[in-house]
Amino acid sequence: MKLKTILTAIMLCLTVQYNAQNKILDSLKIILKTTKDSKQITNTYNNIGKIYNSLNTDSAIFYLRIAEKMAKKNKLQRHLFQAYSNIGTTFIKTGQLDSSEVYFDKAKYLINDIDFYNALTSYYGDRGILDYYKGDYLNSGKRFEKALDLAIKEKNIEDIIRYSNNSALVLSKTGKNNEALDIYFKALKSAELEKDSVHIGLLFNNIANIYEDMNEQEKSLDLYKKSLEIKLKHGTFVQIVNAYFNVANRQLHIGELENDSTLLVKAEKNYEKALEIAQEKNFGNGKLVGWEGLGKIELNKKNFIKSKEYFNKVLEVAKATKNKPYLNMANLSLAYIENDLKNHKKAEFYLKQSKDFVEKSGSITQKKQLYENLYIVEENKGNYKKAFEYLRKKNEIDETLTSNEIKEKISRYEVKYETEKKEKEIAQQKEQLLEQELAIKNRNLYAIIITSILLILGIIFFAIYKRNQFKRNQLQKEIDLKDALAIIKTQNRLQEQRLRISRDLHDNIGSQLTFIISSIDNLKFISKDANEKLKSKLATISSFTGDTIHQLRDTIWAMNKSEISIEDLHSRILSYIEKAKIAVPEVKIDVNYDIDKNKSFSSLIGMNIFRTLQEAINNAIKYSESNTIEITLKNKKNNFVATVTDFGKGFAINSVELGNGLSNMEKRMSEIGGTIKITSEEKKGTTIQLEVQLENTMNDV
């Protein structure tokens, strides 16, 4: 899980770089679409290929091939040289060293036709890198020196730092650490002055190599980590892969020396990170680096079969690409394994494959490995004279790498470097302090001036604000007064309308209904001989008309009020219950209440609540066959809750279709934003509960 997290972080760093490069690529591709100039188009393809060199080698080759064809077609020698150089550099990354050499040779033949020094500098630098990867340190060093001389002549600081670093790297590989140190620290100083983060990371890495040769393992690891940190921010994926490999190598070595399993686990993870990035980017040498590291991890675990698998992979690819350094490394590693397994003849076979090349031009560390393994082979064969000779050569290398002269020199450089660094920091701090003091003085002066201006402006704006506020307040008061008068007039008109309608209902419809009842009663007495069916019909009409009058009175009661208090509603309900008790004396009706009598509803809401409760009580009397009905009125937080409960026969609410009465109740409550809940169970009774928010009942017209 941790490995995935770390890999995600690495990929995030690479993605940030990728996004930045992608923006440049987008702008270059826009140029391709908008220009018809052959020089500009060829140069753009070259630049796109160069950027893809650090993103995707296949894409790099694709665009560089186009640049090559266009340069040939239009006889653009300078652009053709750049295409050849860029293709050669890309092939180094993919591990195709022979193909790389072919393209560098093509570039060489064009140098005389090109009138700019960078061509020659670039050629020597690129060939130096190729020779380095081939393990030909002698020629590599010569080419880097030529590139450095040209850079110094042209005063190109970036190239001076680059080729100084490369020259010193070759020197350290051949055991000339003393000379390499002078160049490294001089280049480091220049890189820091130029704020060249990329080369600072590379120089830290290469100085760490010397610490490694001197067996200063902890110092070496610290510098490798610093290098990795810088490369993750500013380096290419090639540099990042190498940095992970170097950190892992030191962690493995220190872990083996100190028997520290934690460091060994970290080393394995870093090798895996290096391999994963190399495989994703198709970085040929990076894959060799990853397999080498994992082979070392398996060797440390004494898992010789798995270790040999990794080193044989390296051997196979290195043979195919003629990569001498990794071919020798694989042979030496396999020889070490066979010696450890007491298969000394096999070890000797691997050593013979690389002996001549390593002794002639191999790195100092490979020579040390060669002589160490040859010593074991010859000792096992009983050739003690040869064994002693190889042991002597190995010890001479150890003495060279760990000589007091080098240790003293690097200590002096450490002190000098740290002292210069601190002096530089102190100078910068002094400069910053002076700048801060000047800035503080200027800031104080500006603050006084600005404060004075702001104070004057503030007084002016405050006076204007106060005057405007006074005008706004006066205007608002006038508006509020007009609004209040308009509301009062509207309310008065509404109240007059209510009163007029209620008088009309009472005087006209009410009197007419009363006349109907009187007429029906007279008919009863006049029609003494009428049959019972007619009498029953007349009685029904009389009863219905009486109910209508009661409902009309209730409506008039509601209309006469702009608000209905809970106390009014309570009284009306009690009045209705008293009439119900007269009609059905055998049914006991109990009323419980815990209400805030100061609260009130609009007339519309109050009337709907009353009608709903009236319907609920009426249903309980008619259909429940219950001897007792309980009515509860109460406040629940900010809600008015009324409940009607009977203990009668009940009904199955899910299987019975609701009648008009219950539907009307739901509709009434919905109209005023209330809720109604009906629960019933056979033989246990029915409960109807309605709930209305008091805050929603205020100020309804």
Sole residue written with tokens 């930045």: 20
What was the pLDDT predicted at 442?
A: 76
Across the chain, what does the average pLDDT equal? 77
Nearest Cα residue to 135 out of 283, 317, 329: 329
Average pLDDT, stretch 4-15?
46
For residue 299, pLDDT beyond 70: yes
Rounded Cα–Cα distance for residues 236 and 129 (Å): 16
- What contacts 591, CB < 8 A, 6 or more positions away? 573, 574, 577, 631, 632, 633
d(CA 374, CA 14): 43
The confidence band for 153, taking pLDDT boundaries of 50, 70 and 90, is: confident
Name the residue with higher pLDDT: 510 or 628: 628
For 88-102, 316-330, 514-528, which range has the lowest pLDDT when averaged over its residues?
514-528
How confident is the model over 77-92, as pLDDT tens digits? 888 888 888 888 888 8
Strand order across the beta sheet in which 675-681 lies: 588-594, 628-636, 639-646, 685-693, 675-681
Q: For 412-416, 423-427, 619-623, which range has the lowest pLDDT when averaged over its residues?
A: 412-416
**652-678 exposure pattern, b = at least 16 Cβ within 10 A, e = fewer:** eeeeeeeeeebeebbebbeebebebee
What φ, ψ does residue 522 adopt, rounded to 5°?
-65, -40
Q: Which residue has the higher pLDDT, 418 or 334?
A: 334
Give the pLDDT confidence score for residue 553 in this predicted structure.
59
Higher pLDDT, 302 or 9: 302
pLDDT of residue 279: 83
Q: Which of 656, 638, 642, 649 is nearest to 682 (CA)?
A: 649
Provide the pLDDT for residue 513: 58
* Per-residue pLDDT tens over the stretch 485-500: 776 666 556 555 555 5
What pLDDT shows up at residue 645?
93
Between the two ends of the chain, the Cα-to-Cα distance in Å is 67
Lowest mean pLDDT among 73-77, 407-411, 612-616, 638-642: 407-411
pLDDT for the residue numbered 551? 59
In contact, 319 and 355? CB cutoff 8 Å = no
In words, the CATH class of domain 564-697 is alpha beta
pLDDT value for 688:
92
pLDDT > 80? residue 505: no
What percent of the chain clears pLDDT 90, i.e. is strictly above it?
A: 2
| CA distances from residue 219 to 136, 365, 633 in whole angstroms, order as listed | 29, 18, 86
Examine the pLDDT at 544 and tell me if it is beyond 70. no
Q: Does pLDDT of 7 surpass 50?
A: no
Is the pTM value of this prediction over 0.75?
Answer: no
Structure confidence by residue, pLDDT tens digits, 131-150: 887 878 888 888 888 888 88
Q: What is the pLDDT of residues 276-293, one digit of tens each?
A: 888 887 777 778 878 888
Domain boundaries, the chain: 564-697
Task: Check pLDDT > 60 for residue 15.
Answer: no
More confident site: 509 or 179: 179
> What pLDDT shows up at residue 689?
92
Contact 74, 38 (CB under 8 A): yes
- Provide the token pair at 296: 């070392």
> Does residue 95 come out as left (phi exceeding 0), alpha (psi in the -120 to 50 range) or beta?
left
- Of the pLDDT bands very low, low, confident and very high (cuts 50, 70, 90), residue 700 is very low
Q: Could you tell me which residues come within 8 angstroms of residue 381 by beta carbon, excluding any fewer than 6 positions away?
A: 344
Higher model confidence: residue 264 or residue 401?
264
Q: What are 564's strand-pairing partners?
A: 601
pLDDT, tens digit (0-9, with 9 covering 90-100), for 391-406? 888 887 777 666 555 5
As a whole number, mean pLDDT of residues 85-104 equals: 84
pLDDT, residue 180, reads 78
Residue 556 reports pLDDT greater than 90? no
Report residue 304's pLDDT band, with 50, 70 and 90 as the boundaries: confident
Does residue 6 register a pLDDT over 50? no
Q: pLDDT band for position 3 (50/70/90)? A: very low
| Range of weakest confidence among 8-17, 297-306, 631-640, 675-684 | 8-17
For 34-76, how does the pLDDT look when each residue is reduced to its tens digit (9 = 90+)? 777 888 888 888 888 887 777 778 888 888 888 888 888 888 8
pLDDT band at 129 (very low <50, low <70, confident <90, very high): confident
